[in-house]
Structures are given as C-alpha cells and as structure tokens.
Amino acid sequence: MTDRIETITTPAAMAARAAELARRGVRVGFVPTMGALHDGHLELVRTARAKNDVALVSIFVNPLQFGPNEDFTRYPRDLDGDLAKLATVGCDAVFTTDAASMYPRGFATYVVNDALTDRFEGAVRPGHFRGVLTVVAKLFHLVRPTVAYFGQKDAQQALLIRRMVADLDFPLQVSVQPTVREPDGLARSSRNVFLSQEGRTRGLALSRGLKAAAARYAAGERSAAALIATARGELEATAGVGVDYVALVHADTLEDVRQADARALMWVAARVDGVRLLDNALLSAPTEAAW
C-alpha cells in the first residue's frame, strides 16, 4: 500500500519525470482516467502495479471528447476522493493537469481513425473518438508507459486505441481488462452516480440481456438475429430503458456477424434516467476480456 502519491501537474513536469524513469529502465503501468474513480479503475491500477515497477494514473476530464450538448460540465470531479482511493491500491504517481496546458492556444492537430468510428458510440457521439485518441496520444507521449491499461466496457475505445498504437508505432503495449461489475451485474461506470435508485435497477437490464444471450449461445444458438432478439427482449421488457442499439459484432473488427462464433461480441447501449449506459461481452466467455 502506498500512502504518499506523487502528483504531477504540468505536461513539462510529466515529460521530465517520464524521461527519468525511462533512463532508469523502470517499467511504467499507466491507467488513463477522467477521475471519478470506481472499482473498475482501481482494479486496473492494481493490475498495473502488480505487473510493473510503478503504477501511474492520469486524471483529466478531456473537453475534446465531449460534444456541445454532452455532460462535460457536470461530469463528476473529486480529485481528493480519487487520490484517497488511489492510495489504497498502490498507485505511485498521478498526472493531473488543466485543459489550457493540454490544449494551449493554437492547438490544431488531432488523431482520427477513419474506419472504426462511424458506428456505435462514434455514430451517437460525433467527434468523441477524435477527442479520445488525441488526448490518449498526447498522454502516451508525455507518460511513455510500458503498458497502458483499459477496461473492456468501453470496447470501441479500447479497440481504437489498440489500432492507433499499431498504426502510429507507439512503443507500448495495450492491455484490456475485463469489465468490473457490481455484485448484481451492473457494469461499473463513473456515470452510474447519476442514476436514481430506480434507474440503477432498470440499468440491470443491460447485463441481464447479455447474460440471457450468452446462455442461449451456450445452449447452441448461433443465429445473430436470435441472439440479438434475446438481449433486446430483456431491455425492451424493462420500463424506462431506451435502447440505443443491440448488436453482435466480430470483436476484432466491429463488423456485424450473422452467425456467432467464439469471437462474437454482443454490444448494448441504452439510456436510463437520461444517462447513457454501455455494456458488452464475448458470448463464448462472458466474464473474460475479449482482447
């Protein structure tokens, strides 16, 4: 357990620290976050700490990945609470800075993926992944991690970051870890704090839908239409759940599949209490990470 966390507050200081760690050959496990940390993040930090010499977390609510009508201003922020939680899981250092330092006047260069962003979250949130990839590229340059850890709940994000690392030759590994769930199955998310007690119960329809589809897969069903109908049925049977999409895709390409195989990823998004909830699972191994 670490009781004192080094806090780094400027990109220049972060770059200097990263250069020094690199010179000493220190393995850096990196967990990029927007704060409002929950058990899902903490599990990533535990893994980063266990598998590397130091665990470094960034906390930065990135304005670039929020659309004009999205929840940037009301996104939960609690730096002191986050630092207290990080102290319990062995985090060594936190990089937290402000938007003006990350995007100074004149900033005009972005990272864009043209292939994987026109579906799912990319379609619902235009520009979102341009903001994510741009900030993650900057963070990778500043932190110089050995391994960067992401959760599978944001599967499209994880896949896009993998792609960026391969396409742009970032010298690091991307590790995607299984979604951490509440005991009743709800995927952990910073946005869960916006759910009312009733909304929280309604939100369980997402994991129930995935579980029902995985059970049908285990029983031998392979038709994508039937598996999607099973998950959608759970969502639509729950009052107050607005389904955005239910899809069955190949985990590596996000292309729709007609017949499920071991790499078939079921993917659901819905709105509850005005909060967008996401969840996904490999039907063949619903509790394991897909990558």
Between 47 and 62, name the residue whose CB sits nearer to ligand PAF. 62
**How many CB atoms neighbour CB 115 within 10 A?**
10
Between 31 and 260, name the residue whose CB sits nearer to ligand PAF. 31
How buried is 129 (Cβ within 10 angstroms: 0-12 exposed, 13-18 middle, 19+ buried)?
buried
Report which of 9, 8, 22 is spatially closest to residue 171, judged by C-alpha positions. 22
- What CA–CA distance (Å, rounded) separates 157 from 150? 9
Q: Where do we find the tokens 């969840």? A: 279
As measured in angstroms, the least distance from the Cβ of 85 to ligand PAF is 15
The catalytic position among 38, 41, 128, 141 is 41
Between 110 and 259, name the residue whose CB sits nearer to ligand PAF. 110
Between 45 and 248, name the residue whose CB sits nearer to ligand PAF. 45
Between 65 and 192, name the residue whose CB sits nearer to ligand PAF. 65
As measured in angstroms, the least distance from the Cβ of 34 to ligand PAF is 4
Between 153 and 202, name the residue whose CB sits nearer to ligand PAF. 153
DSSP state of 247: E
Tokens representing residue 126 in the block: 């235009």
**CB within 8 Å of 72: residues ≥ 6 apart:** 61, 63, 66
Amino acid at 93: A
β-pair type (264-272, 242-250): antiparallel
User: For the chain, where are the alpha helices, taking DSSP H only?
Assistant: 11-23, 39-51, 79-87, 99-102, 121-124, 128-143, 155-167, 197-218, 224-236
As measured in angstroms, the least distance from the Cβ of 4 to ligand PAF is 24
As measured in angstroms, the least distance from the Cβ of 62 to ligand PAF is 4
Residues near ligand PAF (CB under 6 A): 32-34, 62, 65, 132, 135-136, 154, 157
As measured in angstroms, the least distance from the Cβ of 216 to ligand PAF is 30
**Cβ atoms of residues 157 and 113 within 8 Å:** no
Respond yes or no: is residue 41 known to be catalytic.
yes
**CB within 8 Å of 241: residues ≥ 6 apart:** 202, 203, 205, 235, 270, 271, 272
As measured in angstroms, the least distance from the Cβ of 136 to ligand PAF is 5
Q: Report, as residue numbers or ranges, the catalytic residues.
A: 41
